[in-house]
């Protein structure tokens, strides 16, 4: 099968002809229809995340159809469309799994990081960690829901049911979450790179009541803010934007250092929290809500062999919405 592989020698991926993987016990072989390109993939190939499996096939926003079931797989069928997310396996035995917090598992596997992902014509996934997807949906449109959607939704759940919500960085995750929040009657305030008029217009078109530069003050006190841009300097800005008792959620897996800020910015019971990974329960709640909200993803499709171009476009902020690879 064709696959784009990361060797660790440079941030460039290499097209390779690899043997088709075989599903083991509890696993499924999936013929990939589409795979989203996520900022986490950039963190992997740019060296921000340590010790990836090498060589590695990146990609964890996978949409495809089950081609073969491994021994012991129940509840799935060949030909069924499924999605494969970032969390590829949890041990089920550690204290965090016992508490229902499998996103914090002590011995996890992550798709496209510690196990091969979807920048390929086929992949193998743990059958317990795939999500059934609509049979008639567009696979390119569905792909961003598998991480941008799921992690955005988990971040949203951790924001504390706000009435006024700030989103810092209006990319793949924010453009999905904006639609969910508006569906639930939340006022959305979009903060973008300074002067990015296209991103601000995009945010308003999706229902944001206000859009401006990330350094601009919010026009009203916010109940919560979610930071998707991997920029630590946004944390003090977001703290100043939220009201007393407000919460700032850091939604990324990696962020540059947070600069020092006055304690007064945190006082009055403001909070800073981070989001780690996802749980299967997040998916069970998210996908029906996304369908009810009529979420539409803005995507740019690339052939598999142009994965490096897609990563470069994401790296340099040339995308509106999400990039998706199509084998």
pLDDT tens digit sequence for 202-231: 999 999 999 999 999 999 999 999 999 999
Spatial CA neighbour of 302 closest among 312, 290, 288, 289? 312
Question: pTM for the whole thing?
Answer: 0.95
Size of the chain, expressed as the number of residues it contains: 327
pLDDT tens digit sequence for 244-280: 999 999 999 999 999 999 999 999 999 999 999 999 9
Which tokens go with 29? Answer: 């072989």
Answer for the pair 42, 314: CB distance below 8 angstroms, yes or no: yes
Write the CA distances from 210 to 77, 187, 191, integer angstroms.
Answer: 46, 9, 9
pLDDT tens digit sequence for 143-180: 999 999 999 999 999 999 999 999 999 999 999 999 99
Say whether pLDDT at 195 is over 80: no
pLDDT tens digit sequence for 54-92: 999 999 999 999 999 999 999 999 999 999 999 999 999
pLDDT tens digit sequence for 7-58: 999 999 999 999 999 999 999 999 999 999 999 999 999 999 999 999 999 9
- Residues whose CB is less than 8 angstroms from the CB of residue 41 and which lie 6 or more positions away in sequence, other chains included: 58, 59, 60, 112, 311
Spatial CA neighbour of 172 closest among 153, 185, 187? 153
Say whether pLDDT at 321 is over 90: no
Q: What is residue 196's predicted lDDT score, i.e. its pLDDT?
A: 80
Give me the DSSP letters along 90-106: --S-SHHHHTT-GGG-S
Q: What is residue 256's predicted lDDT score, i.e. its pLDDT?
A: 97
């Amino acid at each position: 099968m064709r696959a784009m592989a990361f060797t660790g020698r440079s941030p460039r991926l290499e097209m390779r002809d690899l043997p088709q993987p075989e599903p083991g016990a509890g696993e499924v072989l999936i013929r990939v229809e589409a795979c989203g390109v996520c900022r986490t993939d950039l963190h992997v190939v740019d060296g921000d995340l340590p010790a990836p499996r090498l060589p590695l096939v990146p990609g964890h926003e996978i949409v495809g159809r089950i081609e073969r079931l491994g021994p012991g797989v129940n509840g799935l069928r060949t030909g069924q469309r499924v999605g494969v997310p970032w969390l590829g396996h949890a041990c089920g035995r550690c204290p965090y799994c016992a508490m229902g917090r499998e996103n914090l598992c002590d011995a996890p596997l992550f798709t496209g990081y510690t196990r091969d992902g979807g920048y390929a014509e086929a992949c193998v996934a743990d059958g317990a960690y795939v999500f059934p997807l609509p049979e008639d949906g567009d696979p390119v449109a569905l792909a961003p829901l598998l991480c941008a959607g799921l992690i955005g939704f988990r971040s949203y759940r951790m924001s504390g049911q706000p009435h006024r919500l700030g989103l810092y960085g209006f990319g793949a995750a924010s453009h999905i979450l904006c639609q969910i929040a508006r569906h639930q009657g939340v006022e959305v305030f979009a903060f973008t790179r300074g002067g990015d008029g296209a991103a601000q217009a995009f945010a308003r078109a999706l229902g944001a009541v206000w859009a401006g530069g990330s350094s601009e003050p919010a026009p009203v006190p916010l109940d919560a803010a979610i930071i998707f841009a991997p920029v630590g300097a946004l944390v003090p800005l977001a703290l100043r934007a939220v009201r007393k008792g407000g919460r700032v959620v850091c939604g990324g897996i990696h962020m540059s250092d947070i600069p020092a800020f006055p304690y007064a910015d945190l006082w009055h019971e403001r909070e800073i929290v981070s989001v780690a990974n996802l749980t299967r329960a997040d998916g069970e709640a998210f996908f029906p809500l996304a369908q009810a909200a009529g979420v539409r993803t803005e995507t740019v499709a690339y052939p598999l062999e142009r994965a490096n171009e897609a990563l470069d476009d994401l790296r340099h902020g040339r995308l509106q919405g999400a990039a998706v690879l199509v084998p």
